[in-house]
Amino acid sequence: MTTDRTLFDYLLRLADSDLILAQRLGEWLGHGPVLEEDIAFANVGLDLLGQARMWFAYASEVETRMNGRGRTEDELALLRDGGDFRNLLLVEQPNGNYADTIARQFYFDVWHELLLTRLERSADARIAEIAAKALKEVTYHVERSTDWIIRLGDGTDVSHARMQAAIDVLWPYTGEMFTADATDRALTGDGVACDSESLLAPWRERVGAVLSEATLTLPSAEWMQRGGKQGVHTEHLGHVLAEMQWLQRAYPGAQW
Amino acid sequence: MNRTEWPLWEIFIRSQHGLAHKHVGSLHAPDPEMAVKNARDVYTRRNEGVSIWVIRSADITASSPGEKEPLFEPANSKVYRHPTFFPMPDEVKHI
């Protein structure tokens, strides 16, 4: 059954994955291979940051209902420690080379679009509303990352090799998107969340089709990393948070 | 490694239905589809457009600045091409 506790936890998962990926994409600013890519990824990052804010705002309301005082968006984003973050392990992985960034984005975008399409029909009206708004942006994100997978995969020998390597290295971080724990099950039962496992088949179909057009091979490894949704992260998250949070940590309450 | 630059594209945006596409600038992209996407990200961030055209800059044939005189000067001396010789009735506005 959905309780405020489980709903809050679920909203943090949605918000944190958006936030951490936005932060990662922001790292490309000024370092992109061409100016146009710099701008494009900044746009995608800002879209995700906007979505994170909507999820945080709702989470904050739920927390207020639960505890009498809910943390603000800023407090949730900038004053929580690593173990309290609920993002997918996939999104905290380093940018690497451009193929790594594109592979991470592609895996995430395809899943994100499927997820939001389901959440658009959530029994929770607020979740449905936010999902519908986010979906328009995410539909474009998928197109863009799909284009890049095809162009780099079916490009030169070097780009093909790098793209395949990135697809393989990040593969074990994709399993987590399709596993359900107690929080997922509690909310799915009420139609608030969607059944994570049911997204796996359409995701593999879409990813497989794009990779095959890109002359890339869908990895077959079965073993998957997990833990992000429960707050058990890879060593990379701490570095992301250090850069993202240092200002509010060093100068609490600073504004401009 | 052989480093090749992406081709340059000229970008045209139609700001609303009924208006013509207008040249807004240029950018680099590997192919026409990506040029449209890049144009979307670079030139329509603030709701500027409803339609995008892209064309390879290399495919544009331009008049040469050196030919300015033979091309454009002859029109200067042909005032009768401007519709300034017709008396307009006062009641007619917006013309």
- Given a cut of 70, whether residue B95 has pLDDT beyond it is no
**Domain annotation covers residue A255:** no
Amino acid at B82: H
Structure tokens at B92: 């007619």
Task: Classify the complex by whether its ipTM is higher than 0.85, answering yes or no.
Answer: no
**Domain annotation covers residue A171:** yes
pLDDT per position as a tens digit, B34-93: 999 999 999 998 888 899 999 999 999 999 888 888 888 888 888 778 777 778 888 887
Q: Which helix (H) or strand (E) holds A107?
A: helix A98-119
- The 10 Å Cβ neighbour count of residue A211 is 20
**Domain annotation covers residue B37:** yes
Query: Radius of gyration of chain A from Cα atoms?
Result: 18
Establish if A38 touches chain B: CB-CB under 8 angstroms. Answer: no
* Nearest-by-Cβ selection for B27 from A36, A143, A158: A36
**Domain annotation covers residue B25:** yes
Q: What is the pLDDT of residue A140?
A: 96
Q: What is the pLDDT of residue A59?
A: 97
Range of the domain at A207: 4-250
Alpha-carbon distance of B26 to B54, in angstroms, equals 9
- Given a cut of 70, whether residue B3 has pLDDT beyond it is no
Alpha-carbon distance of A103 to B81, in angstroms, equals 61
Cβ-based neighbours of B52, under 8 Å, separated by 6 or more: B11, B12, B13, B14, B36, B39, B40, B43, B44
**Least Cα separation, residue A250 to chain B (angstroms):** 34
**Domain annotation covers residue A256:** no
pLDDT along chain A (256 residues), means of 10: 92 98 96 90 96 98 95 96 97 97 98 98 97 96 97 96 98 96 93 94 98 97 93 96 96 88
**Domain annotation covers residue B61:** yes
**Domain annotation covers residue A47:** yes
Range of the domain at B64: 8-81
Alpha-carbon distance of B95 to B93, in angstroms, equals 6
- Given a cut of 50, whether residue B1 has pLDDT beyond it is no
- Number of structural domains chain A divides into: 1
Q: What is the pLDDT of residue A33?
A: 86
**Domain annotation covers residue B1:** no
Domain of residue A123, CATH code: 1.20.1260.10
Alpha-carbon distance of A130 to A134, in angstroms, equals 6
Alpha-carbon distance of B61 to B66, in angstroms, equals 15
**Domain annotation covers residue B16:** yes
**Domain annotation covers residue B95:** no
> Could you give the 3-state DSSP secondary structure of residue A75?
helix
> Could you give the 3-state DSSP secondary structure of residue B12?
strand
Q: What is the pLDDT of residue A71?
A: 96
**Least Cα separation, residue A162 to chain B (angstroms):** 15
Q: What is the pLDDT of residue B58?
A: 95
**Domain annotation covers residue A63:** yes
Residues 136-195 of chain A whose Cβ lies under 8 A from any Cβ of chain B: 140, 143-144, 147, 151, 158
Domain of residue B70, CATH code: 3.10.20.520
**Domain annotation covers residue B59:** yes
Q: Distance between alpha carbon B78 and the CA centroid of its chain, in Å? A: 26
**Domain annotation covers residue B64:** yes
Structure tokens at B22: 């207008």
Range B16-27 average pLDDT = 92
